[in-house]
Amino acid sequence: MQLAPSRSPNFWRSLLIIFVTGAVYAGVARLLFPNLGNSYQIVSLAFIFSMPLALGGIVCYLGYKLDTPRPFWHRSAPALAILLAIIGSWAAHLEALLCLVVALPLVFPATVLGGWGMHLGLQKRCKDRLLVSFFVFLPYVVAPLENLWQTPHETRVMRNAVTIKASPETIWNQIYQVPAIQKSELPSQWIYFLGFPRPIAATIDKQGVGGRRHATFERNVSFFEVVTHWEPVKKLSFTIKADPDFIPHTAFDEHIIVGGRFYDVLDGTYEIEPCNDGTCILHLSSTHRLSTRFNWYAGWWSEWVMDQIQGSILEVIRHRCEASAGN
């Protein structure tokens, strides 16, 4: 990234004005979008792509007008502006850290592209007012157009497995219900450092099909599960119900809340596979739903998150089973 070399006081004054203007533009868009109706969503092409693109164009335009048309304004200034906007939204508690990490690989290149787009437009001597108006209002025009197409729904299955030196009976007793998990039992995972609630326990009201499991996570997060397959020491399956109105909004960012408009976990299955050497392979799979305009990208992140969650739960079970079996 090309940083600004030593400049005159006018340059630094212009830089401050431009970054403040960019922060105001991005902040107003973030606050307006959820309040303009169903057509305006934060998790959308309009906001994730068009808003950063517009921000990059505005920063370049103001740089050229308040200072001089130097490369810094279309190469580096847009990138710095979106980084400041991201830091500001986190500091102001507008977005969770996990959401910002997910968004960064999308909004960063979009902002840089906006700076280059404005640069090319000004080079071709497009009418200034028309050009800057196009950039400013772009997200607000794209949003209703985007909603003319139905949001795609996609389901994906995430599978994890772990080898355990214990009998199927020992493993079964650790999966149909899970006693309270201490924080020290969980392996270090990035999702927990980014603020994702840690699993605590899973209880069940009765054994057999129809039994109701209650899985709890940190910050009063609860998932209600109904057993659909009960085969002792072999297989346990259950549906998963996450009521977004029940889950505290302080536990998840509103855009990644489980059971919400964009993401949900539908079911889970444990399977115990005995091996000839006295060990067992414990399989854990789950089905989750994605409903975004960019499932190809959101799906990668959701699989990464589920892989870390399921992997950490399997590690807790493995340690408990092997400790119980004396291994």
Domain-wise residue ranges, the chain: 9-146, 154-325
Q: Per-residue pLDDT for 107 more than 60?
A: yes
The count of other CB atoms within 10 Å of the CB of residue 60 is: 30
Nearest to 293 by CA among 176, 174, 150, 171: 150
Identify the pLDDT of residue 100: 85
Total-model pTM:
0.80
What pLDDT shows up at residue 248?
46
- What lies within 8 Å, CB to CB, of 139 at 6+ separation is 29, 33, 46, 47, 50, 51, 54
Pairwise pLDDT comparison (311 vs 222), residue with the higher score: 311
Residue 1: band (very low, low, confident or very high) from pLDDT cuts 50, 70, 90 = very low
Rg of the chain over Cα atoms, rounded to whole angstroms, equals: 25
Q: What share of the chain in percent tops pLDDT 70?
A: 91
Phi and psi based region of residue 197 (left: phi greater than 0; alpha: psi -120 to 50; beta: remaining): beta
Indicate the range of 107-121, 150-164, 257-271, 306-320 predicted with least confidence.
257-271
pLDDT tens by residue, 202-228: 999 999 999 999 998 887 888 899 999
Q: What is the CATH number of domain 154-325?
A: 3.30.530.20
